[in-house]
């Protein structure tokens, strides 16, 4: 066995039907492969034609017929037209036997007994009439047939990834009267501790917002990025914790020395200890997101990618900020309403599954900090196959 890169292309239909999260859940939990990169594309005609040029390879009439059906599907459903520019999601996975494992999870186009084991059995369709002619076809997701195909296709999509990929906000059309916003969602590192359905499950709940995914990035936040991202939280924590920390310290002193502590002394204890405790809590947040506390991070590593992984999603639509925040729920999972993300997936105030920007202005600030439009898909693919 050796490590390979493989990919899955989530079709425009699957994206429109909000099946992206469910497909991601299947891929991560059933293959145990590592999701290492992702990018939203609105493919140009040139990319679609270059991609389909290599889809038909078989000399077997039955296999060739299926390949030609797939080629026609991609040409029809991935290509832009005057009214519609389809969005396609490229997911890149790494691990032993990645190509074979991905193919097994995606499944065959032809499935006589669709019991739901594979992505195509669950979300795809292959319907024929009595004469055997195909009347409806939806493959749900595309995957390479072998390692050489994976290499060719990944390098091809990487070649077009600057021009045809990124934040595809112009691919979705809205009425002029709509209050269209872009907002940032982070699926946090606690969802990636082990291969599971959690990342896709969180995405599934966000799909209830009715918003459009126009950006998708796998990201490892550096300590410097986490400090900047959560910078506004530091002062809030230092102020907020003054009173409870002062009371806690006074209670401990009273128990230890048997001395009554006045309200004035409690306040002074809070003034001294609150900022210290607030900074420690803040440093733990940075560690949770980047893998290292700022006070423990050597200067030369502050801008290096951290050890913790998250998914950065850009959602677009009417009132996007409000809608994502409503689906997310309050910071404390114990106070979140049933069905919200933090109630379903959160554990504590810090380990609470996801982040959603609280204003359009903060969304813009946060997207800039983590470089959400950065093309790390291209660099990963080209570096991998250059060695």
**Residue length, the chain?**
387
Residues annotated catalytic, as ranges: 355
* pLDDT of 293 above 60: yes
Residues 204 and 147 in one domain: yes
Residues 107 and 50 in one domain: yes
Confidence of residue 199 (pLDDT cuts 50, 70, 90): very high
Residue where a domain stops, chosen among 301, 318, 340: 301
Residues 341 and 284 in one domain: no
Residues 155 and 52 in one domain: yes
Domain count, the chain: 2
Contacts of 361 (CB under 8 A, 6+ apart): none
* pLDDT of 207 above 90: yes
Residues 152 and 72 in one domain: yes
Query: Looking at residue 1, what is its pLDDT?
Result: 59
Residues 150 and 183 in one domain: yes
Residues 181 and 231 in one domain: no
Structure pTM? 0.93
Residues 288 and 367 in one domain: no
The mean per-residue pLDDT over the stretch 138-146 comes to: 95
What is the sign of the dihedral through the CA atoms of 140, 144, 145 and 149? positive
DSSP structure string for 282-335: HHHHHHHHHSS-GGGS-GGGTTS--S--EEEEEEEEETHHHHHHHHH--SSGGG
Full residue range of the structural domain in which residue 290 is found: 226-301
Query: Looking at residue 358, what is its pLDDT?
Result: 95
Render pLDDT for 163-180 as a digit per residue (tens, 0 to 9): 999 999 989 989 888 999
Residue where a domain stops, chosen among 278, 301, 324: 301
Radius of gyration of the chain (CA): 24
Residue where a domain stops, chosen among 266, 301, 336: 301
Render pLDDT for 14-66 as a digit per residue (tens, 0 to 9): 999 999 999 999 999 999 999 999 999 999 999 999 999 999 887 777 778 88
Between the CA atoms of 294, 333, 359 and 209, what dihedral angle is there, to the nearest 10 degrees?
130
Residues 51 and 185 in one domain: yes
Residues 77 and 214 in one domain: yes
Nearest to 33 by CA among 230, 226, 254, 192: 192
CATH assignment at residue 54: 3.30.70.141
Residues 280 and 337 in one domain: no
Residues 205 and 274 in one domain: no
Query: Looking at residue 66, what is its pLDDT?
Result: 86
Q: Beta-carbon neighbour count of residue 77 at 10 Å?
A: 17
């Amino acid at each position: 066995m050796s490590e390979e890169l493989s990919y899955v292309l989530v079709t425009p239909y699957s994206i429109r039907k909000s099946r992206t999260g469910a497909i991601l859940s299947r891929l991560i939990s059933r293959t145990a492969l590592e999701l290492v990169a992702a990018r939203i594309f609105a493919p140009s005609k040139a990319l679609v034609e270059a991609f389909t040029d290599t889809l038909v390879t078989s000399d077997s009439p039955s296999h060739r017929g299926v390949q030609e059906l797939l080629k026609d599907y991609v040409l029809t459903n991935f290509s832009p037209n005057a009214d519609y520019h389809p969005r396609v999601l490229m997911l890149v996975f790494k691990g032993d036997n990645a190509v074979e494992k991905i193919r097994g999870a995606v499944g065959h186009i032809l499935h006589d007994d669709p019991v739901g084991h594979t992505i195509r059995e669950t979300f795809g369709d292959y319907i024929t009439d009595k004469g055997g002619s195909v009347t409806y076809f939806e493959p749900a997701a595309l995957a390479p047939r072998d390692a050489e195909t994976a290499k060719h296709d990944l390098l091809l999509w990487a070649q077009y990834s600057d021009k045809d990929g990124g934040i595809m906000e112009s691919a979705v059309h809205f009425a002029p009267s709509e209050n269209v916003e872009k907002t940032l969602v982070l699926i946090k590192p606690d969802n990636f501790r082990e291969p599971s359905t959690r990342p896709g499950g969180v995405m599934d709940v966000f799909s209830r917002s009715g918003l459009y995914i126009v950006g998708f990035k796998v990201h490892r936040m550096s300590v410097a990025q986490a400090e900047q991202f959560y910078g506004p939280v530091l002062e809030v924590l230092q102020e907020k914790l003054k009173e409870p920390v002062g009371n806690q310290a006074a209670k401990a002193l009273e128990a230890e020395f048997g001395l009554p502590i006045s309200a004035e002394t409690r306040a002074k204890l809070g003034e001294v200890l609150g900022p210290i405790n607030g900074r420690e809590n803040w440093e733990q947040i940075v560690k949770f997101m980047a893998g290292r506390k700022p006070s423990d991070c050597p200067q030369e590593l502050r801008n290096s990618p951290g050890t913790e992984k998250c998914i950065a999603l850009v959602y677009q639509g009417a009132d996007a900020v409000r809608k994502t925040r409503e689906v997310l729920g309050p910071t404390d999972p114990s106070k979140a309403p049933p069905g919200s993300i933090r109630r379903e997936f959160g554990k504590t105030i810090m380990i609470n599954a996801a982040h959603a920007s609280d204003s359009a202005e903060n969304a813009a600030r946060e997207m800039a900090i983590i470089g959400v439009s950065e093309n790390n898909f291209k660099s990963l693919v080209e570096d991998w196959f250059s060695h």
